[in-house]
C-alpha cells in the first residue's frame, strides 16, 4: 500500500494527511445510510493507513454523519486525526436554507461539538455562504469561537474570490473547500489563484466527479432510489451520452498507465500542487485502498495536458449542480455597512431553535422505563414499523429499513412494534432479518395478532384459541425467534369471550412462547375482564393531541390496574408533523387518504390545529412533531409513544422530543388547540373496529366452537391408518357414555373397517361420496352398511356441483319429511345441508351474515340435518354453525316462511293489502349499489307467491330506477295480484340537492312519470312522500283528488306528515294510509300522529320497522355497509351513539333466543301486535331475509313481553336522531301555510 505523507494545509499551522476521507456518503445523499459498524471499521482502517484528515458536516443526515464520526473517534482515535466539519446548510420545513447569522453559527457549533462528542473542532468550514449576512459578521462569530477554544481553524466552502478576501481580512482562513476534478475546473480561473495568493490551503471535494471517473455511466445504472446524484445535470440522459466519452478516454489512458481510472483522476488532482488535499469519499475498504494508491501514480506534464484535453470545458455537458443549489458563483454577501445589530432581535429564539435541532438527534438520551407492572422494561420511546411495509404507500427498500432499525437500536430506541397484518406478514419478516447479528438481544419486540385478511383483502377479526395459537406460531417463524416479548391482541373478536382468548395467550406464556400479554383498541370493560384471567402488561391505543377519547375511561382503567400504555399514531398519522402537506404528498395507495380527518371537508378545519401547534413550536425552538410528541411524553411515566418513520432524520427528530420540556400552562394551551369540537372527522372510517365496539360476549356463552353440550352425530372424518380402529371407536364410545356425543359415524371408510368399528360400538351412519358419477361405494361399502343397519349419508351428491341439473331428482322430496338414519334411533331430515363450502376448500370463506341466513333458511325450510367438521377452516365452519341457536330454530322453524300471510283492510276507504308488505327501496338505491335486476325480480315474484302482495316504491328511489324495476316485475300477470304503492314529492336537482314539491303541476307530472315507468294504468296507493311546506296541503290534495277522479290513482296517502297536516288533508279527500317510521326504537309518532290516524280511520304503514336493519344484526350491520350506503350517515349509527344503541339490540337478541325466533322476527312481531290497522313494510334484497320476516307473523307476544321489549328502547336509551338535521324533512317540520295564503297562478 502506498505511503500516505503529511502536508501543511494553508499557512496557519494545520497539518493533515496528503489525502483525506470524505464521509458524507456513509450517511446521506448517496443512497441509504450504510451499516454503522462497517463505516466505523472503514474509518479506523483509514486512520491506520495514514489517512487522518476526516471530513463531515452537520447537514449530512442531517446530523447522523457527525454522530457516526463521534462514535468512530472513541478509544483514542480522536487524538490521531484532523477533524473537519461544516455548518450553514440546514433544512427548514423540508426546504434547503443557508444560514450565517451569529446566533446560528454559535448554536450550530455547539450542536456539532455535542454530536461529535469532542471539545474542539480542528477545521470548521462555512458550508455555504449566507448571502443575506455580510461575511465579516459570520467570520467575526467564528473568530470568537477560535478565541474560546471551540474551533482551531476556519474554512470556507463554495465561496467566491471576493468573499474569500473579505473573510480573510477578518480572520485568517486556513482552507477553502471546493469541487475540483478533471471535469470541474472553473475554480482555476479566480478562486485557486486567490487562495494561493493569500496562503490558503485547497481541499478538493468530489475529486472523482461524484464517482463518475471511477466507473463511468455504470455508476448511474446502479444508483439506489434515494441517491442525490440521480438529479444532477451531468447525469441526465441528454448529457450522459456525451459525458461518457470523457470516462472512456480516461479509462483507456489508465489502462496504458497500469492503474485504475479513479487512480488516474486522483493523481491529476495530487499533481496540482502541494497545497491541494483531495478528500475522495467511499464506503468500501477496497475503494479506499485504491484511492490511496493514486499517490504512487506519476504523471508527466504531457500526460497532464492530455488528461485535461479529455474534459475541456466544451466537452463536459451539464452543470455541476441543479440551479437551486448555492455555489461560489452566487456567494457574494452584502457589505458590512448594511448589517444592523437589530437583525439579531430573534437570537434568543434562534439559539433555542438550534439547540432543539441538535436535540433532534440521537444525542438526546433515550432513557428506560417500566411498561406496566409485570416487569417489562423498554425504551422511553419506541419505533412503530408498520409504515416500512404496509398501509402508508408501497413498501420501502429493505436495506434502508434494516439500517433504520439498527440505527434506532444503537440510538437507544429498542422497543420495536410490528404486527402479522402489516404486509400482511412482510413487516415481521423484515424485523426478523433486522434482528440478526446479535440485535435480537438488544431490543424489546412487540407484535400483534387478531386481524386476518382473506382473499380480496377482506378483513376478519379472530380471537378463537386455535387462531391465537396458529398466529403466534406464524409470527415466531417469520420473526425467526423463540419468544415474543409482548404479544398484543390487535383487535378484539367480539364473537369470542375475551376470557377465552386470554386463556389461550396465558398458555403461550406458560409454554415460553410469549413473555407478556397486551391488548390493542380494547374497551375498559374488556381490559378488566382480560386482566382477571392473566395480568395485562400493556394496552396499545391511539393517543395524541387530536385523539383523546381514551382519557375518559381507558387510560384511568389501565392506571388503576397497573397496565402500561403504548400510544400509537402519537403524531396523528403524520399530520402533526407537516399538516396538510402530508396529504398532498401521499402515494396513491396510502391508507391515510381515506381517513375521515383527511377528507377535504374536514381537512380545511383541521389544518388550523397544525398551524397553531407549529406556531407554538417555533416559539419553543422545536419542530411541531417534537412538540406533539413531547405532549404525549408528559402524560406520565407509564406512557410510551411509538412514532413510526422510514427516515433516520425523522427518527432523530422524534428522539429530540424527549428533551422538550412543557409547563402545565403550555400543556393546557396545546390541548386547547385540538379540543374535541375543534377536531373534525373520526379517527377511522365507520367500518373499522376500535375500542368503542370491542366488548365481547360473556364467558358463559362460550362452549367451544359449536357452542353446544352434545353433538348429535360425530364422524371420524378420515381413518388414521396407524391406529387400530377399535382404539378410536373405544374412545368415541366413552364420549357417548359421557353424554358428549349421541351417535358415532365414519367417513370414507372401507367395508372391513366398518365391520371392525361396528363390533366395538354400533355405527349409526357412514358418510361417503355417492352420486351419478361416483358409484364405487356400491360394490362393497353400501351392502355392508345395509347389512349392519347403518345409515348412509351421501356427500357431493351433485358431483361437487358438476351435476347441478340433477337437482330435479330431489324435487319430489316432501317438505319437512323426516327419516330414520340407521338403526340406532337417529332421525334427520330427508335431505341435509353440507356446510363445508361456506368456510373452506371451495374458495375464500363466504360472508358470515349470508351463511348464517342461509342456514336459518334451511332450518326454517325443514332441512335440519347440518354437516360440518373441525377441519373445515380449520375450525371456522364449526364456529359459524355455532353462531346462532339453530337447535332452537329447528324446533321453531314453523315461525318463518311456512307462516301464512293473511289479508287486512288498510284504512276505511276499501283498500285491502297483505298483512305485511315489501319495501323495495334498497333494491335500487340508498343502501349501497343497485342489486342485480334478475335477482330482485325473482325476489318480488317469490314475495307475491308467498302472499306478500303489498309492494312499496317511490319515484325518488334511484331516482326512477326502482319504479322501472317494479314495472318489469309486474309483467306477465303479476300486476293483477299486487297492491302497488308509490310516492312523489322529493325532487333531486341536477346538482344533487333535494327539494320537496307539492304544487299541482308537479303532482300531475310526477304521477304521469310513475305510471309510465311502472307501465301501468292506475296506481293503487299514491303517497305524498314529503310535505312541501310552501304549498297549502289543501292544494296538493286537491290535485290528487282530480287524479283519483280521472282513474289514475285509487287511494291517496301521506308520508311523514304531522297530525294537523293529516287532518287538513283528510278534510279535502279521505286519506287511506299514512306512512311513517315506526319501530321499537322510533316511537315518537305514538303521541299524536297514530291517535289522529285511528280517530280518522286512516291505515298505518310502518316503514323501517327493523330500524334500518339494526334489529336484524345490531352493530354488525355497520361493519358490512358499502361505502355509499345512506345508513352510514345516520346519527344512530355514528360511533358516539352506536356504542350505547348496540345494547338495545343485544337485549332484543337475548329475548329472541328465549322465544325461539330471530331478533328481526321479534322486532317485527312487536309491530304486528300494535293493532290490525298497522302494516309494516320491511325491505330486503335476499329471499332468506324475506322468509325470516314472514316468520314474524307467527311469533306471539304477551302484554308482559310487549312491555319488556319496549323497556329496551325507551326514548332516553336510544341515542341519536332518526335523520341528520340536513337530511329529509320529517313530520316534525311538515306543517304547511293556510289555504288562504295561496294565490292561484
CA angle 858/864/868 to nearest 5° reads 90
Cα-Cα-Cα-Cα torsion 648, 651, 653, 659, nearest 10 degrees, comes to: -140
| CA 275 remoteness from chain centre | 59
**Separation CA 742–CA 744 (nearest Å):** 7
866: β partners: 833
Compute CA 351 distance to the chain's CA centroid, rounded to the nearest angstrom.
Answer: 40
Q: Residue 476: count other Cβ atoms within 10 Å of its Cβ.
A: 20
Residue position matching grid coordinates 474569500: 164
Question: 81: closest CA among 43, 112, 33?
Answer: 43
User: 447: part of which helix (H) or strand (E)?
Assistant: strand 444-449
Q: Among residues 104, 205, 422, 715, which one is catalytic?
A: 422
Q: How far is CA 281 from CA 30, 53, 529, 669, in A?
A: 11, 12, 60, 48
C-beta pairs of 1114-1118 under 8 Å, 24+ apart in sequence: 1114/1142, 1114/1145, 1114/1146, 1114/1149, 1114/1159, 1115/693, 1115/1141, 1115/1142, 1115/1145, 1116/849, 1118/686, 1118/687
Q: Which of 212, 182, 180 is nearest to 310 (CA)?
A: 182
| Cβ–Cβ < 8 Å for 311, 242 | no
Question: Is the Cα dihedral 338, 339, 345, 349 positive or negative?
Answer: positive
Residue among 1068, 1060, 1072 nearest 1027 (CA): 1060
Classify burial at 568, counting beta carbons within 10 Å of its beta carbon; exposed 0-12, middle 13-18, buried 19 or more. buried
H or E element in which residue 904 lies: strand 903-905
* Beta carbons of 116 and 154 less than 8 angstroms apart: no
Closest CA to 284 of 73, 76, 35, 82: 35
Yes or no: say if 235 and 213 are a contact pair by the CB < 8 Å rule. Answer: no
Between the CA of residue 1206 and those of 385, 839, 1170, 1210, what are the distances in Å? 50, 37, 12, 6
d(CA 880, CA 890): 16
- Contact criterion met (CB below 8 Å) for 981 and 1072: no
> Would you state the cell numbers that stand for residue 402, as one nine-digit string?
434494516
Non-local CB neighbours of 876 within 8 Å, separated by 6+ positions = 839, 840, 845
- What spatial distance separates the first Cα and last Cα of the chain, rounded to whole Å? 107
Question: What is the DSSP secondary-structure string of 610-624?
Answer: HHHHHHHHHHHTS-H
Contact 383, 415 (CB under 8 A): yes
How far apart are the C-alpha atoms of 638 and 258, rounded to whole Å? 66
Query: Which ranges constitute the DSSP H helices of 57-121?
Result: 64-72, 102-116
Residues comprising the chain, all counted: 1241
Q: What are the cell numbers at 890?
A: 329447528
Q: Is 684 a catalytic residue?
A: no
Annotated catalytic residues are 422
Amino acid at each position: 500500500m502506498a505511503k500516505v505523507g503529511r502536508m501543511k494545509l494553508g499557512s496557519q499551522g494545520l497539518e493533515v494527511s496528503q489525502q483525506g476521507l470524505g464521509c458524507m456518503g456513509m450517511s446521506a445523499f448517496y443512497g441509504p445510510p450504510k451499516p454503522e459498524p462497517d463505516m466505523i471499521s472503514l474509518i479506523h482502517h483509514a486512520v491506520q493507513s495514514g489517512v487522518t484528515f476526516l471530513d463531515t458536516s452537520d447537514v449530512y443526515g442531517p446530523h447522523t454523519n457527525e454522530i457516526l464520526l463521534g462514535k468512530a473517534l472513541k478509544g483514542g482515535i480522536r487524538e490521531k486525526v484532523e477533524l473537519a466539519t461544516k455548518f450553514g446548510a440546514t433544512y427548514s420545513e423540508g426546504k434547503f436554507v443557508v444560514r450565517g447569522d451569529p446566533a446560528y453559527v454559535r448554536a450550530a457549533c455547539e450542536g456539532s461539538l455535542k454530536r461529535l462528542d469532542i471539545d474542539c473542532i480542528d477545521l470548521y468550514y462555512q458550508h455555504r455562504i449566507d448571502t443575506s449576512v455580510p461575511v465579516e459578521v459570520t467570520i467575526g462569530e467564528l473568530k470568537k469561537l477560535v478565541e474560546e477554544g471551540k474551533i482551531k481553524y476556519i474554512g470556507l466552502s463554495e465561496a467566491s474570490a471576493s468573499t474569500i478576501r473579505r473573510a480573510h481580512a477578518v480572520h485568517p482562513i486556513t482552507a477553502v473547500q471546493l469541487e475540483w476534478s478533471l471535469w470541474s475546473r472553473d475554480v482555476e480561473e479566480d478562486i485557486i489563484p486567490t487562495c494561493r495568493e493569500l496562503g490558503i490551503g485547497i481541499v478538493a471535494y468530489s475529486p472523482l466527479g461524484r464517482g463518475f471517473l471511477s466507473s463511468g455511466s455504470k455508476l448511474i445504472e446502479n444508483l439506489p432510489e434515494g441517491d442525490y446524484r440521480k438529479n444532477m445535470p451531468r447525469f441526465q440522459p441528454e448529457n450522459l451520452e456525451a459525458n461518457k466519452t470523457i470516462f472512456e478516454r480516461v479509462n483507456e489512458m489508465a489502462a496504458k498507465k497500469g492503474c485504475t481510472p479513479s487512480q488516474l483522476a486522483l493523481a491529476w488532482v495530487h499533481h496540482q500542487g502541494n497545497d491541494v488535499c483531495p478528500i475522495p469519499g467511499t464506503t468500501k475498504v477496497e475503494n479506499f485502498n485504491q484511492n490511496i494508491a493514486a499517490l504512487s501514480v506519476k504523471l508527466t506534464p504531457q500526460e497532464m495536458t492530455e488528461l485535461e484535453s479529455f474534459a475541456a470545458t466544451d466537452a463536459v455537458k451539464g452543470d455541476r449542480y441543479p440551479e437551486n443549489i448555492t455555489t461560489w458563483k452566487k456567494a457574494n454577501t452584502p457589505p458590512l455597512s448594511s448589517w444592523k445589530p437589530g437583525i439579531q432581535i430573534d437570537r434568543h429564539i434562534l439559539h433555542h431553535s438550534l439547540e432543539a435541532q441538535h436535540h433532534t438527534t440521537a444525542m438526546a438520551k433515550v432513557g428506560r422505563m417500566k411498561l406496566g407492572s409485570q416487569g417489562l422494561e423498554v425504551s422511553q420511546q419506541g419505533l412503530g414499523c408498520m409504515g416500512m411495509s404496509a398501509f402508508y404507500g408501497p413498501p420501502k427498500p429493505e436495506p434502508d429499513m434494516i439500517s433504520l432499525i439498527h440505527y434506532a437500536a444503537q440510538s437507544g430506541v429498542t422497543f420495536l412494534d410490528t404486527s402479522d397484518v402489516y404486509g400482511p406478514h412482510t413487516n415481521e419478516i423484515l424485523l426478523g432479518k433486522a434482528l440478526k447479528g446479535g440485535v435480537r438481544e438488544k431490543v424489546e419486540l412487540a407484535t400483534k395478532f387478531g386481524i386476518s385478511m382473506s382473499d380480496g383483502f377482506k378483513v376478519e377479526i379472530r380471537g378463537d384459541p386455535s387462531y391465537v395459537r396458529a398466529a403466534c406460531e406464524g409470527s415466531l417463524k417469520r420473526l425467526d425467534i423463540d419468544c415474543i416479548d409482548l404479544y398484543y391482541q390487535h383487535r378484539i373478536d367480539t364473537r369470542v369471550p375475551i376470557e377465552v382468548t386470554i386463556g389461550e395467550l396465558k398458555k403461550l406464556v406458560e409454554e415460553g412462547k410469549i413473555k407478556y400479554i397486551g391488548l390493542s383498541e380494547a374497551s375498559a370493560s374488556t381490559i378488566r375482564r382480560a386482566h382477571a384471567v392473566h395480568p395485562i402488561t400493556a394496552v396499545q391505543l391511539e393517543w395524541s393531541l387530536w385523539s383523546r377519547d381514551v382519557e375518559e375511561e381507558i387510560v384511568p382503567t389501565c392506571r388503576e390496574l397497573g397496565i402500561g400504555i403504548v400510544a400509537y399514531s402519537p403524531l396523528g398519522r403524520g399530520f402533526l408533523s407537516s399538516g396538510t402537506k402530508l396529504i398532498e404528498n401521499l402515494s396513491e395507495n396510502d391508507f391515510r387518504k381515506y381517513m375521515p380527518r383527511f377528507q377535504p371537508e374536514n381537512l380545511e378545519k383541521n389544518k388550523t390545529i397544525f398551524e397553531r401547534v407549529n406556531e407554538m413550536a417555533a416559539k419553543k425552538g422545536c419542530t411541531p412533531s417534537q412538540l406533539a410528541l413531547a405532549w404525549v411524553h408528559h402524560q406520565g411515566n407509564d406512557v410510551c409513544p411509538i412514532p413510526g418513520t422510514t427516515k433516520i432524520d425523522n427518527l432523530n427528530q422524534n428522539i429530540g422530543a424527549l428533551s422538550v420540556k412543557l409547563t402545565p400552562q403550555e400543556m393546557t394551551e396545546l390541548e386547547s388547540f385540538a379540543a374535541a369540537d375543534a377536531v373534525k372527522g373520526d379517527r377511522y372510517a365507520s367500518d373499522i373496529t376500535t375500542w368503542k365496539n370491542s366488548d365481547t360476549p360473556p364467558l358463559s356463552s362460550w362452549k367451544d366452537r359449536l357452542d353446544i353440550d352434545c353433538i348429535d352425530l360425530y364422524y371420524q372424518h378420515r381413518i388414521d391408518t396407524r391406529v387400530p380402529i377399535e382404539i378410536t371407536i373405544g374412545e368415541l364410545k366413552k364420549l357417548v357414555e359421557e353424554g358428549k356425543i349421541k351417535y358415532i359415524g365414519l367417513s370414507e371408510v372401507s367395508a372391513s373397517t366398518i365391520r371392525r368399528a361396528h363390533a366395538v360400538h354400533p355405527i349409526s351412519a357412514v358418510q361417503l361420496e355417492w352420486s351419478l358419477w361416483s358409484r364405487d361405494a356400491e360394490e362393497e361399502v353400501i351392502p355392508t352398511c345395509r347389512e349392519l343397519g347403518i345409515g348412509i349419508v351421501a356427500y357431493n351428491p351433485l358431483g361437487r356441483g358438476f351435476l347441478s341439473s340433477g337437482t330435479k331428482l330431489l324435487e319430489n322430496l316432501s317438505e319437512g319429511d323426516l327419516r330414520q338414519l340407521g338403526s340406532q334411533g337417529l332421525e334427520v331430515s330427508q335431505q341435509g345441508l353440507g356446510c363445508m363450502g361456506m368456510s373452506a376448500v371451495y374458495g375464500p370463506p363466504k360472508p358470515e351474515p349470508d351463511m348464517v341466513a342461509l342456514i336459518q333458511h334451511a332450518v326454517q325450510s325443514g332441512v335440519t340435518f347440518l354437516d360440518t367438521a373441525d377441519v373445515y377452516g380449520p375450525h371456522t365452519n364449526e364456529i359459524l354453525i355455532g353462531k346462532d341457536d339453530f337447535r332452537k330454530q329447528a324446533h321453531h322453524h314453523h315461525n318463518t316462511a311456512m307462516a301464512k300471510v293473511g289479508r287486512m283492510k288498510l284504512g276505511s276507504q276499501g283498500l285491502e293489502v297483505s298483512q305485511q308488505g315489501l319495501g323495495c327501496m334498497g333494491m335500487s338505491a340508498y343502501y349501497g349499489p343497485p342489486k342485480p335486476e334478475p335477482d330482485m325480480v325473482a325476489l318480488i315474484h317469490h314475495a307475491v307467491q308467498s302472499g306478500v302482495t303489498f309492494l312499496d316504491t317511490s319515484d325518488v328511489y334511484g331516482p326512477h330506477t326502482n319504479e322501472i324495476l317494479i314495472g318489469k316485475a309486474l309483467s306477465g300477470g303479476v300486476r293483477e295480484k299486487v297492491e302497488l304503492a308509490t310516492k312523489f314529492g322529493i325532487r333531486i336537482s341536477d346538482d344533487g340537492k333535494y327539494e320537496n314539491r307539492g304544487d299541482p303541476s308537479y303532482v300531475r307530472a310526477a304521477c304521469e312519470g310513475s305510471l309510465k315507468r311502472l307501465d301501468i294504468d292506475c296506481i293503487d296507493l299514491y303517497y305524498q312522500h314529503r310535505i312541501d311546506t310552501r304549498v297549502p296541503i289543501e292544494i296538493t290534495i286537491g290535485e290528487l283528488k282530480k287524479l283519483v277522479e280521472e282513474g289514475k290513482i285509487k287511494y291517496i296517502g301521506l308520508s311523514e306528515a304531522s297530525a294537523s297536516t293529516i287532518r287538513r288533508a283528510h278534510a279535502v279527500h279521505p286519506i287511506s294510509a299514512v306512512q311513517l317510521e315506526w319501530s321499537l326504537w322510533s316511537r315518537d309518532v305514538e303521541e299524536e300522529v297514530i291517535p289522529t290516524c285511528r280517530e280518522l280511520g286512516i291505515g298505518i304503514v310502518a316503514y323501517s320497522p327493523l330500524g334500518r336493519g339494526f334489529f336484524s344484526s345490531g352493530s354488525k350491520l355497520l361493519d358490512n355497509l358499502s361505502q355509499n350506503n345512506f345508513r352510514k350517515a345516520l346519527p344512530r349509527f355514528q360511533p358516539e351513539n352506536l356504542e350505547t344503541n348496540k345494547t338495545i339490540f343485544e337485549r332484543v337478541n337475548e329475548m329472541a333466543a328465549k322465544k325461539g325466533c330471530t331478533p328481526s322476527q321479534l322486532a317485527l312481531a312487536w309491530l304486528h301486535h300494535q293493532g290490525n290497522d298497522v302494516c309494516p313494510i320491511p325491505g330486503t334484497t335476499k329471499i332468506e331475509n324475506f322468509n325470516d320476516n314472514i316468520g314474524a307473523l307467527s311469533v306471539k307476544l304477551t302484554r308482559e313481553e310487549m312491555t319488556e321489549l319496549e323497556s329496551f328502547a325507551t326514548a332516553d336509551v336510544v341515542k341519536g336522531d332518526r335523520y341528520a338535521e340536513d337530511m329529509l324533512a320529517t313530520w316534525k317540520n311538515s306543517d304547511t301555510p293556510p289555504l288562504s295564503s295561496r294565490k292561484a297562478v
